[in-house]
């Protein structure tokens, strides 16, 4: 996709057309809800302003690779054509499982990309979207990562020097806590708040031996504890669904309904929910 420079927000009546990017989400100020922007090509659409009103998205049948821009019949890895999916480092298995990083074996698909993105500080965090989970993200992706997941709470726990190291720490934490979000539970809005600081302390005590082994391997200062306060997020939702029904452009190209809410990367309509990140690169008409 070409770079987009026009950031004017539109609450449009006239249909807009363009290829989808993931929803842009900005955290609200204290006590305020997050701000959501739908991105379709060069267009920017203020979704908060559309709450409680009809919204329609119709897939034209076209898909463009988000990396090279070429037309593709099928999207791979949330927005890539097959050649890019197979050659880009950002689509490799180690992105989902950083502990499998093979940079030092000399087989990284794009060593320079890896040096820019993987060899920088990463944070291991606890979040609460549908219950307690562990996750990792680059320091620069806070709080975007948490908003994308629909987390109502989050707490940075440890900072490490590289993505691979964060993967090893996450594997350790997964002995005690999940690394996944139950997206259906997240969308029902039934997540109970919890004491993340207490959960952090409990887990660090339980995993003390394993963390000591990692520090011995990577260096005493490679895995650093963080003393940060938990953060909380509110989402613009008028009504949560009692039953979660999911829309899919591949099965039904027209999605319509009253926009009732926005959480994570999902639109909540009275007709069902849709994960727009899943359809990155799909050309849609928005009205």
The model's pLDDT over 261-276, given as tens digits with 9 standing for 90+, comes to 999 999 999 999 999 9
The DSSP call for residue 99 is: G
For residue 173, tell me if it sits in a domain: yes
CB 17 within 8 A of CB 23: no
For residue 220, tell me if it sits in a domain: yes
Exposure pattern of 16-31 as b/e (b: 16+ CB <10 Å)?
Answer: bebbbbbbebebeeee
User: What was the pLDDT predicted at 162?
Assistant: 96
User: What was the pLDDT predicted at 30?
Assistant: 79
| 29 vs 249, residue with greater confidence | 249
Domain check: are 173 and 202 in the same one?
yes
What is the H or E stretch that residue 28 is in? none
- pTM (2 d.p.): 0.92
Structural domain that includes position 219: 122-230
Summarised one tens digit per residue, pLDDT across range 188-222 is 999 999 999 999 999 999 999 999 999 999 998 99
Domain check: are 186 and 114 in the same one?
no
Q: Is the pLDDT of residue 29 over 90?
A: no
Three-class DSSP category at 136: strand
Number of structural domains the chain divides into: 3
For residue 243, tell me if it sits in a domain: yes
For residue 1, tell me if it sits in a domain: no
For residue 2, tell me if it sits in a domain: no
For residue 39, tell me if it sits in a domain: yes
Cross-strand pairs, 269 = 259, 272
User: What was the pLDDT predicted at 226?
Assistant: 97
Domain check: are 76 and 111 in the same one?
no
Domain check: are 27 and 57 in the same one?
yes
């Amino acid at each position: 996709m070409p770079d987009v420079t026009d950031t004017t927000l539109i609450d449009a009546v006239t249909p807009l057309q363009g290829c989808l990017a993931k929803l842009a989400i900005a955290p609200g100020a204290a006590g305020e809800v997050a701000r959501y922007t739908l991105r379709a090509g060069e267009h920017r659409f203020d979704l908060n302003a559309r709450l409680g009103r009809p919204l329609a998205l119709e897939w034209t049948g076209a898909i463009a690779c988000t990396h090279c821009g070429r037309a593709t019949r099928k999207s791979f890895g949330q927005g890539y054509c097959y050649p890019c999916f197979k050659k880009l480092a950002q689509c490799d298995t180690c992105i989902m499982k950083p502990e499998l990083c093979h940079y030092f074996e000399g087989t990284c698909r794009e060593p320079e990309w890896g040096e820019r993105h993987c060899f920088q500080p990463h944070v291991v965090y606890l979040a609460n979207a549908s219950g307690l989970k562990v996750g990792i993200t680059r320091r620069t992706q806070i709080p975007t990562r948490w908003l994308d997941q629909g987390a109502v709470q989050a707490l940075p726990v440890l900072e490490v020097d590289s993505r691979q190291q964060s993967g090893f720490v996450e594997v350790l934490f997964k002995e005690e806590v999940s690394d996944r979000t139950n997206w259906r539970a997240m969308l029902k809005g039934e997540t109970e708040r919890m004491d993340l600081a207490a959960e952090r302390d409990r887990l660090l005590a339980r995993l003390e031996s394993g963390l000591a082994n990692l520090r011995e391997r990577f260096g005493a200062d490679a895995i650093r504890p963080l003393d940060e306060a938990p953060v909380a997020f509110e989402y613009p939702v008028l009504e949560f669904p009692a039953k979660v029904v999911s829309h899919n452009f591949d099965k039904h190209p027209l999605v319509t309904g009253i926009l009732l809410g926005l959480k994570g990367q999902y639109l909540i309509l009275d007709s069902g929910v849709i994960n727009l990140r899943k359809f990155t690169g799909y050309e849609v008409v928005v009205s």
